[in-house]
Amino acid sequence: MKLGIFINTDKHLADVIGITKAAVSKGHEVVIFNMDDGAKLLGDPAFKELCKTKGVSMSFCDHAATHLGVSKEGIPEEIVCGSQYNNAIMVNSADRVIVL
């Protein structure tokens, strides 16, 4: 199964990490897309480390990050600086999507 996680707030980091690790431990693929206040999580090392987890792919809305003044410096290259197109791909390809 492919699980999509749409993140539009910076208030649930522990949940994002826990759900992601639980899903990949069961052999599922996880696709994460963040925008709006969720882009603020890009400054958190624990969030950025998720991109190094096998079975996890991540992207964020460049427009939202720029609007919020989120620094893109230090973001691993595995995290795609994208757009709503990346969100659309996630929603279309995921079997389930949760919003946090």
Count: domains in the chain: 1
What is the pairing mode between strands 2-7 and 96-99? parallel
pTM for this prediction: 0.95
**Dihedral angle computed from the Cα positions of residues 75, 26, 83 and 45, in that order, rounded to the nearest 10 degrees:** -20
Q: What is the pLDDT of residues 46-94, one digit of tens each?
A: 999 999 999 999 999 999 999 999 999 999 999 999 999 999 999 999 9
Q: Domain range spanning residue 38?
A: 2-99
Query: What's the CATH number where 33 sits?
Result: 3.40.1260.10
